[in-house]
Amino acid sequence: MGSATRIDGKAMAARLHESISAETSRLAEQHGITPGLTVVIVGEDPASQVYVRNKKRTAEACGFRSVQHTLPADVSQDDLLALIDDLNGDDSVHGILVQLPLPDHLDEQAITQAIAPSKDVDGFHYVNIGKLTAGDTGDAFVPCTPAGCMLMVEEHLGADLSGKNAVVIGRSNIVGKPMASLLLAANATVTICHSRTADLPGVCRNADILVAAVGRANMVEGDWIKPGAVVIDVGINRIPVEVDGETKSKLTGDVDYAGAEPVASAITPVPGGVGPMTIAMLMSNTLRAAKLSAGID
């Protein structure tokens, strides 16, 4: 069994990192600019710390100037906003990223909207969201996960998705909605599904492109997949598994890989699919921010 091409996000990301590194050294040689990425992390959440370490390591490998601000879990909203204000005004900082989720006493929306749109390399500012929705992305930043997903879709189906049905499961501002905007811009016919959708399996069976971004382990079953579909699994779920009588946690996606793999034409694994591409797109956005700040694009 097994006919689907495994979409290797790790290998795609490695190719992207190579071209980003080359462009970064050209930027330094020709214009004396080093892209600067500043990551702000609040508290000690272990998963967040892993993500931040990966981002920092990748930024440094690309030749960026990488700075991390670690703030205590009880930091006040005013202090965090003051730091963002300083970073907005610092010309050596091209990208500002506040690692989510934030502790409950902080207003996530107020904080993400305080980042200057020109430094919002996560693509969460309403100015960037508006530009993406309007199809005016010349100087806008697209959220990293959907941007990476689109590159994976294009690798298999090309840049023009005319006549293709795309189904996105999940309507978050971070993945679902921007993913739908990108698919629409590429001429796909797009359906966005969520917890209130009637007959989700039936809707999925029409999808030539299926993007699952819902955060429920193995929710999408093999018989939901249209034969030959391209399946992009954004989910990262930890499930307990028994290994030699010990309970360990295993990463799994939103799609039942074993069930979908014989039916799909291409599918992303979890881990090793969308995750590495998300970080690669963050680097790509930061490099672009540095170039735009100097009027080069």
Annotated catalytic residues are: 55, 99, 122
Rounded to whole angstroms, the Cα distance separating 167 from 158 reads 17
Phi, psi of 231 (to 5 degrees): -115, 120
Degrees to nearest 5, angle at CA 285 with 165 and 51: 90
> E strands, the chain, where?
5-6, 36-42, 65-71, 95-98, 165-169, 189-193, 209-212, 230-233, 237-243, 246-252, 266-267
- Read off the DSSP letter of residue 227: T
Rounded to whole angstroms, the Cα distance separating 204 from 202 reads 5
β-pair partners for 252: 237
β-pair partners for 232: 211
CA neighbours closer than 13 Å in the CB half-sphere of residue 176: 17
